[in-house]
């Protein structure tokens, strides 16, 4: 059967519309927090949160996270994303902890899905790129098909999507897409500064998890017989642990996905940060406390 010219174009328009309406998966940089561990910081570590705003899962195996200062060049600071599970399901998050965690300032992040210790971000301005390979970008404002997403944040950032950078964060705010996953390729329009909300992909099972750590002095000596109280989550009543002779403690068989409060007390000692709020996604290690002997304390 032959189609008339007009019928041919009707079919062509229909096919074009069908392809245009198809939804493709897209992973975006959803939130950036660079003040981790600073004095007055909400969290004790920097983080970048990814989000899959598509309808199918995406495997980010082989991707890298790369960073440059607000006016600096790319090419020296990058981190290959490696994790036990690099598949981001549709409508879910993937949390990358960057830099190193502070022992004294801010609460611990939820257990991240990946860690990039080589990236330490500036608190109020910088540039972050998610790249679909491990080749380092170059220049102050890189372009190319390998860049999956790019965020310039803070007023001094000299490169961003859409021409203007996202709002500057602070010690108590992050730069984040509101609502999650919003992406018009315009950093200034898509991002806002708001209280940080790091979220990670849930583990493959809901098996019980543990919280453990050490209580030490500033010189690194473990403090024994310190009382640790754990409350919150799905606990009906607080539970307690005591540190051993080396200052270590552990709580086991805790429910994943719950938020707990840890509080530390010991006669004759003062603690820099005597309480921590933790969101338990997997076994949480190195939940540490720092204490110091109070001289002339009452016997």
Task: Give the mean pLDDT of 45-63.
Answer: 93
Task: Give the mean pLDDT of 241-269.
Answer: 92
The domain containing residue 120 runs over which residues? 27-194
Task: Report the percent of the chain where pLDDT is more than 70.
Answer: 88
176: its two tokens: 């984040």
Residues 129, 101 share a domain: yes
Residues 177, 48 share a domain: yes
Residues 163, 60 share a domain: yes
Q: Decide if pLDDT at 297 tops 90.
A: no
Residue-wise pLDDT tens digits, 7-35: 433 333 333 333 232 233 489 999 999 99
Check residue 8 and give its pLDDT: 37
Exposed, middle or buried: residue 87 (CB in 10 Å: 0-12, 13-18, 19+)?
middle
Residue at which a domain ends, from 165, 194, 223: 194
Percent helix, percent strand, percent coil in the chain, to nearest 5? 5, 35, 55
Residues 259, 137 share a domain: no
Do the domain assignments include residue 249?
yes
Do the domain assignments include residue 19?
no
Q: Please give the full DSSP string across 52-76, using - where no structure is assigned.
A: E-SSS-EE-TT-EEEEE-TT--BSS
Query: Could you tell me the pTM of the whole model?
Result: 0.64
Confidence of residue 296 (pLDDT cuts 50, 70, 90): low
Residues 162, 103 share a domain: yes
Residues 51, 170 share a domain: yes
Q: Is the Cα dihedral 131, 132, 135, 137 positive or negative? A: negative
Check residue 203 and give its pLDDT: 53
Residues 130, 61 share a domain: yes
Confidence of residue 199 (pLDDT cuts 50, 70, 90): very high
Tally of domains in the chain:
2
Following CA atoms 153, 159, 161, 162 in sequence, which dihedral angle do they give, to the nearest 10 degrees?
110
Question: Which range is least confidently modeled, 39-43, 123-127, 213-217, 292-296?
Answer: 292-296
Residue-wise pLDDT tens digits, 169-193: 999 999 999 888 999 999 999 999 9
Q: Decide if pLDDT at 230 tops 50.
A: yes
Between 155 and 279, the more confident residue is 155
| List of E strands, 11-125 | 27-33, 46-52, 58-59, 64-68, 78-80, 87-88, 93-98, 114-116
Round the CA-based radius of gyration of the chain to a whole number and report it. 23
Residue at which a domain ends, from 194, 226, 256: 194
The CATH number given to whatever domain includes residue 228 is 2.60.40.10
């Amino acid at each position: 059967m032959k189609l008339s010219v007009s019928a041919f174009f009707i079919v062509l328009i229909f096919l074009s519309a069908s392809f245009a309406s198809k939804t493709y998966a897209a992973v975006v940089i959803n939130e950036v927090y660079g003040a981790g561990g600073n004095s007055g910081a909400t969290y004790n570590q920097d983080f970048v949160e990814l989000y899959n705003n598509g309808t199918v899962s995406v495997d980010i195996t082989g991707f890298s996270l790369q960073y440059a200062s607000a006016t600096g060049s790319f090419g020296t600071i990058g981190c290959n994303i490696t994790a036990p599970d690099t598949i981001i399901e549709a409508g879910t998050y993937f949390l990358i902890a960057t830099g190193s965690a502070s022992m004294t300032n801010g609460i611990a992040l939820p257990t991240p899905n990946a860690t990039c210790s080589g990236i330490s971000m500036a608190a109020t301005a910088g540039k972050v790129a998610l790249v679909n390979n491990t080749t380092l970008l170059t220049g102050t404002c890189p372009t190319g098909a390998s860049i999956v997403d790019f965020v310039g944040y803070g007023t001094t950032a000299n490169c961003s999507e859409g021409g203007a950078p996202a709002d500057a964060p602070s010690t108590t705010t992050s730069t984040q897409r509101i609502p999650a996953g919003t992406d018009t390729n315009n950093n200034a329009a898509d991002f806002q500064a708001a209280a940080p909300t790091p979220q990670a992909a849930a583990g493959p099972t809901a098996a019980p998890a543990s919280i453990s750590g050490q209580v030490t002095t500033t010189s690194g000596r473990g403090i024994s017989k310190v009382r640790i109280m754990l409350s919150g989550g799905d606990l009906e009543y607080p539970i307690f642990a005591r540190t051993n002779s080396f200052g270590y403690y552990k709580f086991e068989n805790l429910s994943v996905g719950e938020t707990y409060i840890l509080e530390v007390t010991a006669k004759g000692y003062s603690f820099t940060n005597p309480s921590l709020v933790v969101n338990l996604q997997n076994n949480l290690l190195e939940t540490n406390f720092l204490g110091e002997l109070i001289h002339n304390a009452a016997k």
